[in-house]
Every structure is written in structure tokens, then in C-alpha cells.
Structure 1
Amino acid sequence: MGSKNQTDVSHFFLLGLPDDPELKAVIFCLFLFMYMVAILGNLLIILAVSAYSHLQTPMYFFIYNLSFNDICLTTTVIPHMLLNIQTQIQSISYAGCLTQVCLVLFFAGFESCILAAMAYDRYVAICYPLSYTIIMNSHSCGLIILFSIFISILNMGLLGLMVLRLSFCTNLEISLFFCELSQVMKLACSDTLVHNILIYLATFIFGGIPISGIIFSYVQIVLSVCRIPSVRGRYKAFSTCGSHLSVTSLSYGSGLWVYLNSAANNILPKKASVAYVMYTVVPQMLNPFIFSLRNKDMKGIMKKSSL
């Protein structure tokens, strides 16, 4: 099979959407609705945290950053897909594809870091309540976010540079509705051994380490809560973790599904698209509802706003 240098590649073809015009119209409306719900829901969380002084706490600081990240991640993928459906064009430019790959890498890595930071926040709040305000002060929270941004940018830059050095074959068809790193690499004619090693390393750093930290935090939380004598006290302690556990399960559960589908060489395009919808749209749409419905402070604000 012939190959092209990466500088000769002008477009990639996105084949993750069906050819049926009627089905495309349904998908357009569905994705537009999901996108608007995700944007408005997360924007409300951001405005609420910014407007109410009693929400100026470490937990809500991380929720604020998670909501902003969810808006950015969804916006990286969905608008271009909606534009492709509207214009009947199933392609994306080389520069646009590389930009999507890099931005998805950054926002996905940053989200993983935030979820780990939120687990650490709950661990300190429950296991070391007397030292909570000292450990989780504004300075340390800011440093956590800055460090998360730094390593996410480093990961994005390194893997993005590796993609930039790839040579691609004449087949430039991606079986998704956006450019994703592993799918783009499958189209490469050049050797991808180093790239695969870096991807596994990045998966360990942004997947294995945060998940291990979250599991450790909740093991310690469970052990600490079990030592609380009253049932009401145990319930109150566990209730502060409910939202984070739900969001974490949704995020990492969908991420695991995507990873397993990507690992399968014989995966069907439609199945792959469904998997990536579960990762790039659904968690970002549901997170605001989870935080609003399972958090008494947010529910109180929503009631005040509705009056």
C-alpha cells in the first residue's frame, strides 16, 4: 500500500455517522440537545460557585474546574460533528484533526486529575477534619490545579508531537465522528512502537495513578467512617462522597468502555461511535445534575433560583 508524508495529508474522513439522511436528522437533534444541556448545566454550576460565597470551598473549587473542563471537552468534539451533519461533509482538515486530538488529550487528562483531587479532598475532610482547612487551603488547591494543567499540557504536547511525525497511508478513513488518538494512529504507515509505548505510559499516569489514588482515598474513608459510633454520623460522612463517587464511576466507566472498544481490532464503526458518545457527551451532560441533585447546598440554590 502506498504512503504519504504527513505534510501531504489535507483531510481525514469521519465515517462514524450513518448515511441515512433521516437518521442523521434525528442524531443532529439529539446531539444538539445533549450539547445544549451539557453547556447550560455546567455553566449554571460555574455561575453558582462564583456567585455564592458559601460555595467558596475546596470541593466546589474543584467542581468549578470540572464543569469548565466538561464544557471545553464537549465543545472540542460536538460542534464540528453537528456542522458535518448540517453541511453533509464527512471530513476534517489535517490541522483540525491534530487540534482535536491534542485538545481531547488535554481535557481528558485534566479531568482525570480533577477527579483524583476531589477524592483527596474528601479523604482529608473525613479522615483529618481538624486539619482540613490547613491542608486544603486556597494555595494548595491552586497548586493542585496548576500541576494538573502542567502535566496535561506536557502529555498533550508530547503525544501531539508524535502524531505530527507520523506518515499516513492512502486510507484516511476514521470510524468515528471526531479525531481520536488511537484511531488516527491506526492509519499510520510509519512505525508506531514508540508512540504506543508513550500512550501506555500516559494511560498509566492519567488512568492508573488517579484510580489508585481514588481507591486508596475511599478505602481510608470507609475505615474512618466505620469508626464513627452513630448511624447518622456515618450516613452524613458518606453522603458528602456520593456526588463524587457517581461522577467518578460515570467518567471512568465510560473511559474503560472506550478503551476496551479501541483495543478490539474488529470493532464495528457504529459501536465505536456509541462508545465515544458515552465518553465525550453523556458524563458532561449528567455531571451537573448529579452535583445538583445529590448536594444539599446546590439543591438549596436551585430552590432559591426557582422562587
Structure 2
Amino acid sequence: ERANLVVPAWFAAYEREQALPVVRPVRVERVEPADPDDPGGPLRVVAGDRTWTTRTLVNATGTWSRPFVPAYPGARTFRGLQLHTHDYRGPEALRGRRTVVVGGGASAVQLLGELAPVTDTLWVTRRPPVWRTDDLTPEAGRAAVALVEERVRRGLPPASVVSVTGLALRPQEQAAAALGAYERRPVFRSIEPDGLRWADGSFEPAQALLWATGFRAELSHLAPLGLRGSGGGIAVDGTTVVTDPRVQLVGYGPSASTIGANRAGRSAALAVLRLLQGREAGAALTATG
């Protein structure tokens, strides 16, 4: 709760002290070439009846506005409460409800840590969790980010950093561990009105489903630029889109993690500077040549 107050206050102070000309609220519908006959020229940003033209774009829409919930047979018949981590506001709403937490990432581990002491929980994951027994050193964190970077550099959909680093229990989650909260079951076959059915026919009653199944990058407004490759993702080097260096993606791939985000802003700023300086140098060469 304190973070909900401190983080916005910090950004508000930064915006004020740097005198940043932030325009809000704005919902960008699409980004497209300003001139279709000039594929390397300026971009047009369209938001309703407002438009902006720019030589370069830093896209930092991230993933928070696009929570992912996988489709399972019978999901609409479930009579209990279903919510995604995007909408989770604390354990009180689930107190007393037998809650199934679905997902194998750090969010699921943290949610079970909060919920297990106040209600009956069941953990479901697609794959057995990989637990990290050592400390996550800065070197190990950088190595994990590098693996994700290599994936997006090849144009593949990004994987989460935690899938590389593994999972760890913090001190505040030890009570949940003692209650058996981290004894997981494989994914169920279908959802029924009062619970879940597994492939072997077994059934588990449930009164709430909490989907800790992650997010997807919100990039639909960039579709007119045709950035996605045959691998299903967008090839990115650092934060720069390989096929269109006018575009920087911050909050995509490695920079969608806490570890990777630490350097993403600086990386994008330097890339923008290089692009603009390169174009100015090219214009000067043309003028004097």
C-alpha cells in the first residue's frame, strides 16, 4: 500500500522538477508512417482527432493493460469468483474462500504467501516450479536478462526473466510454505461450476480462481508499422526495433522485468540521440556535398 503512494509521488515530483510537457489523458489508436512513400521518414501518432508527427518514438506501454487469462473448457460456468492479479487488491476479498492460484511465476508465489494464512489454497502450474536455492547476485541477474535479450533479438516472443532466474521464497512467505501452500498440482482439464476437473477424473472444489498467468505486451497500436517477424515476436536489440530503428520498445522483453528496466530508459535515450544525430549528420553531408 505504501508503494501505491510513494511511486506515483516520485514520478509526479520528477515530472514537475524536469518540467516535462506530459499530455494526458491520451489513448493512442495507431502509429503509422506519415508518408507511406517514405518508409524511413517521420511517424504519425494518431489519438482520436489529435495527431503528432515525430522522427522517433519511445513506446513504453508495457504489459499492465493486457492481462492474460488462458482459455479452459467450462470457464464461464464457474459460480465462484474469478480474478486476475491485475485486479487483486489484497487477501481480504478471498478470506474463507477455497482459492486456486494458477500460474508458475513470482506473482503466484507472493499471492500464495498472502493467502495461505487466511484461507485454503491450491497451487496449479503447467510445469513443476524451479526453485532457486542461492541468492540472486547482480551477475546472475544480468545473465538472466541476457538470455531474454537473446530471445527477443532473434524475433521470438519474449519469455519472463523469472523463467530463467527461478523462484525463491522470501521470509514473509515461510508461513505459507509451512502450511503446504507450495505443493503444486499440474494443470486441470476443465472448469466446472463448483471446481476443477483433472485429466485423471479427480475433482477439487473451489470457490475462487486467481489467475497469476502474466501479461502480454500492449502493442496493437503499432500494428501499421509491421514490426512483428515470422518468429511471432518483434526483433529488438537493446530497446531498438531491429527492422525499424525509429522505434524504441521499453517494457518489452527484458525491460519488462525489474532487473532489465533499470537500464532500459538510458538505453532508449541514447538510441534516440544516436538516431537523431545520425540523421542531422546525413542532412549536413547532403547539403554540403
More helix by share: 1
More strand by share: 2
**The TM-score by the shorter chain falls in which range?**
under 0.3
The two structures have a TM-score, normalised by structure 2, of: 0.26
Which structure is richer in relative contact order (CA contacts within 8 A, separation 6 or more)?
1
The two structures have a TM-score, normalised by structure 1, of: 0.25
